[in-house]
């Protein structure tokens, strides 16, 4: 049984500076590219969390050497990919969708499995695409097996990536090592979270890979070498958003040091979202600072490109003084949990008024009360409960340890932030 965590109440405006560790999305993409590169790479300030450790373990199982320095930096030394190997995906979408293309380049059988919820997540799109490109794979969901022959033909493939941008990114990251590269064409409803694909393309180009994304819904990668990486990993901007939300929810002020001026991270969109809800946001040499308003305004927000921010935004909307509509996020029903159903159930369980729509949520402000907030083994659901607990006494978050998926010690970081209440 998991132990509940009493979400601490903010007894005044939060005034804090909160450093956050490196980006999970950048770290895991860099690990894959470094494993496929021709020479050793180095990643400074990578995220050390469950998701990134699972990625590192998966690549080590395939033969890659990953060494950690005393300062936490990783040196990645490519080696011939081989099986037999077993990959534990945990609940990491990046592992279950980025590593199978790598495994298709290995010599030998590679089996994949993960947490119980991971077995329910959609994988057939990327696995069927690999079959089209010449891979031999048994199964269409976890557990499954890739029977690698040491090479993959590659070529053209048409997929429906409307459930996850990771289907595109996962194929792109390994494609330069395919004999004929790859041409991916998406057919279906709009691809969600396109900034994550833009991040993948930018990282491929930084590694010397030829990528053509000029045509909408089409991505081409030419076959060729992948150059070594020498990267400083940016702070994880999505992981920073609960702390920025603390400023917005308490009429306080929170600064995140090291916020990049230019970034491909989806979490950067939180700046505009908070401004729409009447917070003040500015960036300078000290980082990004959010100052919360006396009262949050509700907002009509299209989150299709940045669906991962939905739990944080929904928590703020439940504390706002007007109705909010969150749109474009039907794909969240297939994330770590059905996030739309979970947010409706949990906010309403605290006295809120949330309705599901075809593509999102309608949130009406209501007086809220304490109670148990279930996390569903979903790190972003857990942090959403912590945000509500800032204003609502008696919120108990079930299984706060699930935040270790992307933040190694969220409860301690949250407590340290609240020590700086004005």
Binding site for 3-phosphoshikimate, residues? 24-25, 29, 164-166, 193, 308, 335
Query: Closest Cα to residue 329, out of 355, 299, 307?
Result: 307
Task: Give Cα separations from 249 to 97, 317, 344, 373 (angstroms).
Answer: 35, 10, 19, 18
Strands of the sheet containing 395-398, edge to edge, are 4-6, 395-398, 371-373
Q: Does residue 162 sit in helix, strand or coil?
A: coil
Q: How many C-beta neighbours within 10 Å does residue 295 have?
A: 12
Q: Which two tokens stand for residue 308?
A: 């991962």
DSSP characters over 351-376: T-EEEEETTEEEEE------EEE--T
Q: Which two tokens stand for residue 264?
A: 């491909």
What residue numbers does the annotated binding site cover? 24-25, 29, 93, 121, 164-166, 193, 308, 335, 339, 380, 405
Q: Going by DSSP bridges, is the β-strand pair 211-212/218-221 parallel, antiparallel, or unpaired?
A: antiparallel
Give the integer Cα–Cα distance in Å for 94 and 86: 16
Q: Does residue 199 sit in helix, strand or coil?
A: helix
Q: Going by DSSP bridges, is the β-strand pair 300-302/287-291 parallel, antiparallel, or unpaired?
A: unpaired
What residue numbers does the annotated binding site for phosphoenolpyruvate cover? 24, 93, 121, 166, 339, 380, 405
From 145, 308, 336, 398, active-site residue: 308
Q: Which two tokens stand for residue 376?
A: 């569903």
Q: How many CA atoms lie within 13 A of 246 on its CB side?
A: 35
Residue length of the chain: 422
308 noted as active-site residue = yes
| DSSP code of residue 191 | P
Positions annotated as catalytic residues are: 308
């Amino acid at each position: 049984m998991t132990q509940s965590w009493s979400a601490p109440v903010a007894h005044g405006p939060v005034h804090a500076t909160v450093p956050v560790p490196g980006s999970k999305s950048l770290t895991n993409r860099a690990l894959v590219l470094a494993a496929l590169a021709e020479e050793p790479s180095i990643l400074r300030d990578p995220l050390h969390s469950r998701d990134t450790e699972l990625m590192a373990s998966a690549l080590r199982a395939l033969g890659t050497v990953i060494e950690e320095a005393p300062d936490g930096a990783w040196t990645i030394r490519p080696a011939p990919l081989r099986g037999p190997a077993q990959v534990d995906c945990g609940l990491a979408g990046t592992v279950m969708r980025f590593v199978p293309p790598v495994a298709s380049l290995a010599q030998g059988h590679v089996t994949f499995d993960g947490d119980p919820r991971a077995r329910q997540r959609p994988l057939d799109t990327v696995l069927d695409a690999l079959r089209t490109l010449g891979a031999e794979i048994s199964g269409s969901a976890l557990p499954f097996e890739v029977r690698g022959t040491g090479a993959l033909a590659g070529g053209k493939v048409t997929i429906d990536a409307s459930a996850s941008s990771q289907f595109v990114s996962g194929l792109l990251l390994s494609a330069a090592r395919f004999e004929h590269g790859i041409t991916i064409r998406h057919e279906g409803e709009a691809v969600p979270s396109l900034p994550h694909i833009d991040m993948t393309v930018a990282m491929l180009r930084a590694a010397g890979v030829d990528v053509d994304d000029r045509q909408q819904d089409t991505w081409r990668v030419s076959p060729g070498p992948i150059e070594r990486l020498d990267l400083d990993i940016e702070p994880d901007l999505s992981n920073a958003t609960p702390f920025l939300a603390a400023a917005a929810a308490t009429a306080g002020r929170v600064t995140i040091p090291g916020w990049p001026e230019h970034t491909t991270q989806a979490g950067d969109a939180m700046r505009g979202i908070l401004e729409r809800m009447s917070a003040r946001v500015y960036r300078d040499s000290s980082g990004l600072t959010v100052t919360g308003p006396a009262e949050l305004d509700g907002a009509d927000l299209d989150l299709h490109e940045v669906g991962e921010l939905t739990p944080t935004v929904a928590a703020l909307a439940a504390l706002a003084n007007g109705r909010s509509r969150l749109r474009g996020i039907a794909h969240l029903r297939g994330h770590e949990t059905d996030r739309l159903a979970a947010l409706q159930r949990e906010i309403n369980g605290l006295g809120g008024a949330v309705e599901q729509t075809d593509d999102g949520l309608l949130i009406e402000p209501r007086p809220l009360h304490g109670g148990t907030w279930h996390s569903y083994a979903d790190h972003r659901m857990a942090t959403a409960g912590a945000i509500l607990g800032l204003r609502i006494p008696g919120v108990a978050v079930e299984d706060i340890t699930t935040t270790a998926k992307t933040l190694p010690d969220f409860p301690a970081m949250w407590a340290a932030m609240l020590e700086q209440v004005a």
